[in-house]
C-alpha cells in the first residue's frame, strides 16, 4: 500500500460518502478555474489547506506529493515571461508576469483540490460506487484491475531493487544500467505472468463480465452535501463581490 492509500484510509473523512467529498473538491476546483485568480485562487488554497487539516491529512505527505506537479507548473509558466521579437531577439514579454502568475495561481489551487480528494478517498471506495453508476462496467473494471496491477508491480519493483542494491547492483554507472535493464525484464515477465494467472482465476470463478465487491453502505445526507457545497459558494460570492466593487 502506498503512502497515499494509507493516508486516505486513515483520513477522518473516510466515513463520508465519496459524493460528498466530490462536491467539496469539485466546487473548489470550479472556483479555481473560473473565478478571478485574485482572490479566487488564494481563497481556494486557504480552504483546501483548512479542509486538509480538518481531515487530518499529513501536511508532510501533501507537500511531497505536490512537489513534482508544482515544479512542472512553474517550468510551464516560465516561458510566458519571455517573448521573441521579429529579429529573433529574446526579451521580457509585456504582461508576461501577470499571465504567468495567473497560470501558477489557478493551476496550484486546482492541484490542491485534486490532492485533497485523493488523500481522503480510498480508490476501493470510489471504484465500488462508480460500478453502481451509469458508467460502463467494463471501463470501471479495467481501471480497478489496472490499479491493482500497478500496486503489485510497484511492490515487486521495490523488492527487486532492494535485493539488487544489497548485492551492489548500483555501485557504479555501468552496473546501475545493467541492474535497471534486469529490473525492467523482471517486471515485464512478472506482469505478464500475473495477468495470465488473474485471467485464469476469473475464469475458474465463473466470471460473467462483472466483478462483485462488497462495500460498506455510506448514506448521502443532504446536510453533508450542503456543507460540502458551502465553501465553494462562499468563495464565489466573495470573489464576485470584490470584482463588482473594483
Helices marked H in 18-95? 18-34, 37-54, 59-77
Q: What is the pLDDT of residue 25?
A: 92
pLDDT at residue 246 greater than cutoff 80 = no
Q: Give the H/E segment covering residue 91.
A: strand 90-92
Cα gap 220→193, rounded to integer Å: 41
Asked if 11 and 119 touch (Cβ cutoff 8 Å), the reply is yes
pLDDT at residue 47 greater than cutoff 90 = yes
Cα gap 245→152, rounded to integer Å: 55
pLDDT at residue 129 greater than cutoff 80 = no
Q: What is the pLDDT of residue 72?
A: 93
Q: What is the pLDDT of residues 209-244, one digit of tens each?
A: 666 666 666 677 888 889 889 999 999 898 888 767
Asked if 36 and 100 touch (Cβ cutoff 8 Å), the reply is no
Alpha-carbon distances of 156 from 17, 23, 142, 184, rounded to whole Å:
32, 36, 21, 11
- Residue 30: how many CA atoms within 13 Å on its side-chain side? 12
For residues 21-44, average pLDDT: 90
Contacts of 217 (CB under 8 A, 6+ apart): none
Contacts of 41 (CB under 8 A, 6+ apart): 32, 35, 105, 106, 108, 109
- pTM of the entire predicted model: 0.76
For residues 81-88, average pLDDT: 72
Omega cis (within 30) before 39? yes
Confidence label for 114 from pLDDT (cuts 50, 70 and 90): very high
pLDDT at residue 146 greater than cutoff 70 = yes
Contacts of 95 (CB under 8 A, 6+ apart): none
Confidence label for 125 from pLDDT (cuts 50, 70 and 90): confident
Q: Is 43 exposed, middle or buried (0-12, 13-18, 19+ CB in 10 A)?
A: buried
- In this structure, what C-alpha cell is assigned to residue 128? 465500488
Cα gap 77→226, rounded to integer Å: 36
Q: Which of 212, 201, 14 is nearest to 131 (CA)?
A: 212
Q: What is the pLDDT of residue 212?
A: 64
For residues 176-205, average pLDDT: 84
Asked if 4 and 58 touch (Cβ cutoff 8 Å), the reply is no
Cα gap 41→187, rounded to integer Å: 42
Q: What is the pLDDT of residue 218?
A: 67
Asked if 7 and 119 touch (Cβ cutoff 8 Å), the reply is yes
Cα gap 205→196, rounded to integer Å: 14
Amino acid at each position: 500500500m502506498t503512502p497515499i492509500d494509507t493516508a486516505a484510509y486513515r483520513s477522518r473523512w473516510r466515513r463520508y460518502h465519496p459524493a460528498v467529498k466530490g462536491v467539496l473538491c469539485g466546487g473548489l476546483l470550479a472556483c479555481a478555474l473560473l473565478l478571478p485568480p485574485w482572490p479566487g485562487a488564494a481563497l481556494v488554497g486557504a480552504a483546501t489547506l483548512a479542509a486538509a487539516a480538518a481531515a487530518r491529512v499529513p501536511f508532510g505527505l501533501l507537500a511531497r506529493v505536490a512537489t513534482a506537479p508544482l515544479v512542472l507548473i512553474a517550468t510551464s509558466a516560465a516561458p510566458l515571461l519571455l517573448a521573441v521579437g521579429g529579429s529573433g531577439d529574446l526579451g521580457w514579454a509585456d504582461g508576461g508576469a501577470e499571465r504567468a502568475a495567473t497560470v501558477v495561481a489557478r493551476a496550484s489551487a486546482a492541484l490542491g483540490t485534486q490532492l485533497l480528494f485523493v488523500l481522503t478517498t480510498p480508490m476501493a471506495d470510489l471504484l465500488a460506487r462508480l460500478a453502481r453508476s451509469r458508467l460502463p462496467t467494463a471501463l470501471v473494471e479495467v481501471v480497478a484491475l489496472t490499479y491493482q496491477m500497478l500496486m503489485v508491480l510497484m511492490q515487486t519493483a521495490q523488492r527487486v531493487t532492494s535485493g539488487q542494491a544489497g548485492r551492489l547492483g548500483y555501485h557504479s554507472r555501468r552496473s546501475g544500467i545493467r541492474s535497471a535493464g534486469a529490473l525492467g525484464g523482471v517486471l515485464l515477465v512478472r506482469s505478464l505472468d500475473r495477468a495470465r494467472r488473474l485471467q485464469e482465476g476469473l475464469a475458474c470463478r465463473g466470471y460473467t463480465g462483472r466483478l462483485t465487491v462488497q462495500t460498506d453502505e455510506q448514506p448521502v445526507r443532504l446536510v453533508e452535501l450542503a456543507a460540502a457545497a458551502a465553501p465553494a459558494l462562499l468563495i464565489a460570492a466573495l470573489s464576485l463581490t470584490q470584482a463588482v466593487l473594483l
